[in-house]
Chain A
C-alpha cells in the first residue's frame, strides 16, 4: 500500500546532468575566486583598474599568482557546465519534464497558496514535503530563476568578457553596459547562485538527506513512510 504512493523519481539524464553540473559549478566558484583575487574590485562601464575609482572594493587579499590555474580550470569547467546544461535543457523541454515538474501548477500560484507556503518557509519548517509527488511552488520558482535567469546571465556576462566573442557580437557590451559592468554582474549573479546552493543544501539536510541523496544518485527514492 505504501509502495503505491507516488513519489518524484529522477530520470537518469537528470541525475547525470545534476552531478556533472554540480561538480563543474564547484570548480567554477573556486576558480572564479582565484581569478577575482587578481583584482578584487568591481566597476561599472567599460573600464576599471587598480588606480581607477571602483564601485566596490571587496575585502579579499590581492593575489596575482592564482590566475594561471584559475583561468584554465574556469574555462574547462565552464565548457562542462554549458554542455551539461544544454543536455539538461534540451531533455527537459523535449520530455515535458520542464512543464510537468518545474512550472508551478495553477493551484500552487494562487496568492493564498503562495502566502501559505511563504509562511511555512519563513518558519523554517523542515518536516518534509507535504506533497511528495511534486515540488512546492517556491522550490519550483527557485529552480526556474536559476535555469531561466541566473544561468543565462552568468553565461552571457562571462562571454562579454571575451574579446573574441565580443568582436563577433558587440551587442553583448550593449546588453550589460560595458565589459566591467558585465564582470560586476557576473560576480553578483555568482553570489546569488552560491546563495541558491546554500539554501538547496540546507533544504536537503533538513528533509531526509539520505533519502534525497539516494534518490538523486540511484533514481529510486523510497519514502520514510514506507517503513522498508
Chain B
C-alpha cells in the first residue's frame, strides 16, 4: 500500500507539470522524456487529459450501420519480413506472441489461445494524425485480461509493444489496462486483414491512430522506459511526434 501511494504521489506531482518546472521534462516518473517547449506543452496536455479522464470513461461505440466503407491503411500494409511472410502463408497458424518482462508467468500465446480468451467487440472512430477518420469494428482480447491471466507484477509501470515492421511504442498502465485497449484479431466481423495489421493489432481508443500498432510481435512489461532506446518512449517520438497522442 505504501509503495502504491508513493507511486501515485510521484505520478500526481509530475503529471501536474512540477517535473518540468523543476527542469526535467518527464511526463511521468520513469516515463518518456521530451525536452524544451514542446516537452512542456506535451506535459500540460497529458496532465490535463489525465485529469479529465480520471474516471476512465469509455469512448463512444457505434452500431454496425456506422462502419465506414473507406478505412485507409497507411505506413506498412504488408510487412516485408521473411518470418511474417511464412506465417502469413500458413494462415498465421505458427504465429506466436511472447509476453515477457515484469509478469509472474512469462507466456507465449498462439492466435488460437488469444481467440479462446474472453473477447470484446467495439465499433469505434479511428482518428489519424493526418486528419482522416473512419469507423471500424474491432474484436479482440482486452490487454488487461491477458496481463491479469499471467500476473502483472506490482513494479510494472509500462507496457512496451513491438511490431514485426520495427515499430514500437509504450503505454502506461492507465491506458494499457483501459477496458477498450484490446489486442484485436477481428475487424468488421471477419479476420483482421493483412493491410490492417494481421494477425493481431493493438487498439488504443483514446489516442490517435499511430498508437494502435499493427502486426504485433511482442509485449513486455517494464518498470521504466527512460532508458529504452533514446528514452522518448516510442519510435514515433524519436521522429518528433508526441508520445502521448490524446492531443
Contacts and interface: CB of A to CB of B under 8 A. Distances in A.
Interface of A: 35-36, 38-39, 46-52, 64, 67-69, 71-72, 75-76, 79, 161-170, 173, 179-180, 183
| Interface pairs A-B: 10 shortest CB-CB | A164-B246, A39-B131, A49-B132, A168-B52, A76-B41, A164-B49, A38-B130, A68-B240, A162-B247, A52-B70
Given A52-B70, A163-B207, A165-B49, A183 B130 contact: no
B241 A38 contact: no
B10 interface: no
A164 B52 contact: yes
Interface residues of B, number: 40
B179 to A, nearest CB: 12
B133 A168 contact: no
Contacts of B125: 46-47, 163, 179
Given A47-B68, A50-B72, A163-B247, A72 B131 contact: no
Contacts of B205: 163, 167
Nearest to A82: B44
A183 B49 contact: no
22 contacts: A38-B130, A39-B131, A39-B132, A46-B135, A47-B68, A47-B125, A47-B133, A49-B134, A50-B72, A52-B70, A52-B132, A68-B239, A76-B41, A79-B41, A161-B127, A163-B125, A164-B247, A165-B52, A166-B59, A167-B57, A168-B49, A179-B125
* Residue with the greatest number of chain B CB neighbours at <10 A, chosen from A48, A164, A169: A164
Given A67-B129, A75-B41, A76-B41, 5 more contacts: A79-B44, A79-B45, A163-B247, A167-B53, A167-B58
Given A38-B130, A79-B44, A168-B53, A163 B240 contact: no
Contact of B59 (A49, A67, A167): A167
Interface string B57-99: 1111000001011111000000000000000000000000000
A48 B130 CA distance: 11
Interface of B: 37-38, 40-42, 44-45, 49, 52-53, 57-60, 66, 68-72, 125, 127, 129-135, 205-208, 239-242, 245-247
Contacts of B59: 163, 166-167, 170
Given A68-B241, A161-B127, A167-B206, A50 B132 contact: yes
A183 B137 CA distance: 23
Contacts, number: 112
Contacts of B247: 71, 75, 161-165
Contacts of A79: 41, 44-45
A14 B164 CA distance: 55
